[in-house]
Structure 1
């Protein structure tokens, strides 16, 4: 009896220690995703090691996650087949290795969130922290607040700790939407705790001067408010959402108006706010290349080889669907299309169910929808945070499957 009484506390302590190490390890990985000035970034090196260690010590792929695994693998197989169509490989093997690695990160985050739903809160917290820091760096860099701050800008646009403002802005969207969710649904006393970091993040999105990021944040915010309305049948709650939305819009509008008083900001905003830029609508601009690329895809069902379109036309496809066709062939395109449709359908089916992880799913889902739309004008296949979003949604899909199965057993 004495031996048993001593063994149980030790097991409990070990379990708690493992839980803390797990939480810290995953949170650090998400935190590092906000700092990609050079490649390979610390995120790649750290996550490769973390996934390897986790695989050795029991990373479990459950039945609900299998479709994610199969579709991501076939997508990458399409890229490997496409590579065989190239006369010269260039750095294509490395490119495909990164594609496969990012696919593994989506599977990893789906598996760990299913195993430990409490990680959702920590992942979102780490993402918010990374977004606040990198957005602040972008803002300080844009206004050249200290010597050498221009390292956090690109093309006279805020880029934070990213190489590209067009990735920096979208990275900030999920943390901003999560803070907006907390602002709309949290206690009044804690509103300043959400409003201040939200303003920093929105400032970063705005100064990125990325039309895609502006549209992504705006569309995600609208979808979030619509989702909260649909989720609740309480008239009082809906009234609060309406009032808080108006207050949030006015606050953000005032912040943008203040920023526009700076001549350089106003000038660049005026130039970037146009729907179509010269490089979009020119004779061989982005939109014209869409048609050319589609005709090429009809003639090359196995693809033309990853990144070869950019080598031919000196510009990338800037369309994830066209990129899937040309870089990953028809096999990759069909796999990617099925993955997106499956994620959207399965995620929507469970979107409004009362679960502890539902707020996180709602935020990730609306931002994911925005990324699908954004993918029509930019390549997103190597965006780290896109695969994190994918993993978070599939983790919730797997959790719902487990919840329903347990519920059937309890009532059998």
Structure 2
């Protein structure tokens, strides 16, 4: 697909030869598509990201000044982790955890730098790749759940829950939210043919999320969809666009309820749904339940400037933290505990400030921002700090914000010329 180099007289594409731009965009697509296959190590995502990083640095990649606060917070965050882990370096799993954290930080910077230039085209390729990868993961998850793949039940499901190409059903559900939002945007905004294709895509992804039986993913899909659609209505240019979004959103909601009703007609599915939908899970309640651990862990964190080190929380409590903000304090001490929420909520605040900025990639921005905010909320009840797609979204947010600021400057210069 060809992309315009200008929009409104403002240059958008990075200054590179057409062949180089095509290669860069193809690599962005590959990274997006490979993000859905992570049940093997090293995963295709790691390989694709490494390949893309090398190629982009070889063909031109620029670190904008506006990205430096993000880089500083990432470095301090991981310095905290590294210092707190010093007494634990004889444990291979801790060394691996630290290396993964630094790797995630590098991917954030990579995505920020990539999306800060040639933004509209690269975001579109990332969107396409994510949707393709999500469809592969979703189809395999659904097929595995309904035993449509011979011998694939153990690989594609876990404890009766669909997991597809992921190790954990919870991560499958969380990953699918952003591509599902991209598909939903097409359903409510694009021409009939493309909208119908994306109805199918959104339906398959929603079905996979339902069959993953992740309460956080269920709530995340509903809330982020509503949030994104509300932002789309507020940022639409015409009443006709607003009306279509509202009508199609209602139709999608009705179809979603119908899908749930059909699924609940299966006894095994209905029983699992009833079990997972309950708010009084045994691991959530009591002094050492999920929320009890949060309180006790927070009290410990106040007395431990260097924390207890990565992967040590379960030595003090029955389970892990299941709270990324608390985990930052426990794994990296006060330094990481302050830097992690500072990085996350600075991104959220800056994200809100740029919601109404008119840029060619505004639609993609609303989807990424909505999914990111959903994951930020989810981080209060789940450990999301090593989710690849979370760091990808964080980097993309900073890249889009940097690009929006540059776009406004160029637009002002063009209009005043």
Name the TM tier (shorter chain).
over 0.9
Aligned to 1:126: 129
Aligned to 1:77: 79
Aligned to 1:48: 50
Bigger CA drift: 288-297 or 80-89?
A: 80-89
* Mapped partners of 2:362, 2:282: distance in 1: 42
Residue 384 of structure 1 deviates from its aligned partner by 0.4
* Mapped partners of 1:384, 1:327: distance in 2: 19
- Out of 24, 43, 68, the position equivalent to 1:22 is 24
Aligned to 1:296: 300
Aligned with 1:303: secondary structure? coil
Bigger CA drift: 77-86 or 258-267?
A: 77-86
Query: Aligned in 2, Cα 1:278/1:301: closer, same or farther, shift over 3 Å?
Result: same
Aligned with 1:230: secondary structure? helix
- Out of 197, 219, 244, the position equivalent to 2:223 is 219
Residue 48 of structure 1 deviates from its aligned partner by 2.6
In the alignment, does 2:144 pair up with 1:141?
A: yes
* Mapped partners of 2:201, 2:32: distance in 1: 18
- Out of 335, 345, 354, the position equivalent to 1:341 is 345
Aligned to 1:107: 109
Residue 32 of structure 1 deviates from its aligned partner by 1.0
The CA deviation string for residues 301-349 of structure 1, in whole angstroms up to 9 with x for no partner, is 1111011102332421100111011012111121112212221121111
Instruction: Give the superposed CA RMSD.
Output: 1.7
- Out of 285, 289, 308, the position equivalent to 1:285 is 289
**TM-score normalized by structure 2?**
0.92
Aligned to 2:189: 185
Which sections of structure 2, spanning at least 5 residues, go unmatched?
Answer: 1-15
Matches within 5 A, 1:11-410: 15-86=17-88, 88-117=90-119, 118-150=121-153, 151-232=155-236, 234-410=238-414
* Mapped partners of 1:165, 1:115: distance in 2: 34
Aligned with 1:351: secondary structure? coil
The CA deviation string for residues 147-171 of structure 1, in whole angstroms up to 9 with x for no partner, is 1121111111000100000100010
Which sections of structure 1, spanning at least 5 residues, go unmatched?
Answer: 1-13
The CA deviation string for residues 364-394 of structure 1, in whole angstroms up to 9 with x for no partner, is 0011110011001100010000011112211
* Mapped partners of 1:57, 1:208: distance in 2: 40
Aligned with 2:319: secondary structure? coil
Check whether the contact 1:64–1:401 (CA below 8 A) recurs between aligned residues.
no
* Mapped partners of 1:301, 1:356: distance in 2: 45
Check whether the contact 1:75–1:335 (CA below 8 A) recurs between aligned residues.
yes
Check whether the contact 1:85–1:302 (CA below 8 A) recurs between aligned residues.
no
Residue 146 of structure 1 deviates from its aligned partner by 2.3
Residue 283 of structure 1 deviates from its aligned partner by 3.7
Check whether the contact 1:220–1:367 (CA below 8 A) recurs between aligned residues.
yes
Check whether the contact 2:324–2:385 (CA below 8 A) recurs between aligned residues.
yes
Bigger CA drift: 244-253 or 229-238?
A: 229-238
* Mapped partners of 2:279, 2:42: distance in 1: 34
* Mapped partners of 2:315, 2:191: distance in 1: 53
* Mapped partners of 2:279, 2:63: distance in 1: 43
The CA deviation string for residues 80-134 of structure 1, in whole angstroms up to 9 with x for no partner, is 1211354854421221111111111111111111122111000000000000110
Task: Count matched residues.
Answer: 399
